[in-house]
């Protein structure tokens, strides 16, 4: 298997090097070819600088720099656009997911699945985030029929055909960008599966997901996508 694996980096200077090095080890053990892409979303700390140092020392690591902070959804798009290999994986830069569990995802692709999404066995971020995430996932299942219980889990592996040529219908899609991509891919016949994954406390920093701003954008995009994409059929 050949995998391009990326992760966004924003205020993640403490984890960029450990995560990139662990990914290099895991991918090297399970892939015939791999690359690692760090998407520096104009991080105000040393995350981008550290990523550049890693890339200078390891030809399998590349860095994409955003000149200004574009947000999570655009960081995901940059990572997918930069990927060169047939399979694309990603996680967040905070190491809340254990990338040593990647073989579970690879096994599912060998069963014929085009998209494999992690499903957290236990969430560690408190009841507010748990409730918000639960409500979001219920809405996504009801509106888009993807059958996923943990759409916002930031540990995924997909064939590049799922996202080749994909452009989100809104510039500020945040995590919803992948709901739209998967919905369109499923309409084209893509198969989607879930696998259980661990979830750990952040090593450092604070979560940038499910803030008031991102929650508002997710709610708006979910409602808009349900009307435009599903009810009006404007998403092919």
The predicted-structure confidence for 111-168, as pLDDT tens digits, reads as follows 999 999 999 987 666 656 677 778 878 888 888 888 888 988 999 999 999 999 898 8
In angstroms, the Cα distances linking 183 to 83, 90, 115, 174 are: 21, 18, 11, 16
- pLDDT, residue 31, reads 97
pLDDT surpassing 60 at residue 170: yes
Higher pLDDT, 16 or 213: 16
Average of per-residue pLDDT across 58-76: 95
CA distances from 76 to 13, 57, 89, 163, 185 (A): 18, 24, 11, 11, 17
* Closest to 120 measured CA to CA, from 67, 71, 85, 156: 156
pLDDT tens sequence across 28-57: 999 999 999 999 999 999 999 999 999 999
Which domains, ranges and CATH numbers included, belong to the chain?
A: 2-231 (3.90.550.10)
* Per-residue pLDDT, 146: 86
pLDDT at 88 over 60: yes
- Predicted structure pTM score: 0.88
> Rounded to whole angstroms, what are the CA distances from 33 to 36, 110, 168, 187, 222?
11, 17, 29, 30, 36
> 85 pLDDT exceeds 80?
yes
């Amino acid at each position: 298997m050949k995998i391009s694996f990326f992760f966004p980096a924003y205020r993640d200077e403490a984890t960029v090097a450990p995560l990139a090095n662990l990914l290099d080890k895991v991918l090297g053990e399970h892939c015939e070819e791999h690359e690692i892409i760090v998407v520096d979303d104009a991080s105000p700390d040393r995350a981008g600088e550290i990523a550049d140092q890693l890339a200078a020392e390891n030809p399998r690591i590349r860095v994409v720099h955003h000149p200004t902070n574009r947000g999570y959804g655009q960081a995901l798009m940059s990572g997918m656009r930069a990927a060169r290999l047939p399979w694309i994986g990603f996680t967040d830069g905070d190491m809340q997911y254990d990338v040593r569990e990647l073989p579970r995802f690879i096994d599912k692709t060998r069963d014929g699945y085009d998209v494999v999404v992690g499903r957290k066995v236990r969430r560690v971020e408190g009841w507010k985030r748990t409730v918000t995430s639960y409500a979001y996932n219920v809405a996504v299942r009801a509106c888009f029929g993807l059958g996923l219980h943990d759409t916002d889990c930031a540990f995924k592996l997909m064939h590049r055909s799922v996202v080749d040529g994909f452009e989100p219908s809104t510039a500020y899609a945040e995590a919803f960008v992948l709901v739209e991509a998967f919905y369109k891919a499923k309409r084209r016949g893509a198969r989607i599966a879930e696998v259980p994954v661990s979830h750990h406390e952040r090593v450092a920093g604070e979560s940038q997901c499910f803030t008031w701003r991102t929650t508002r954008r997710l709610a708006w995009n979910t409602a808009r996508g349900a009307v435009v994409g599903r009810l009006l059929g404007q998403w092919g």
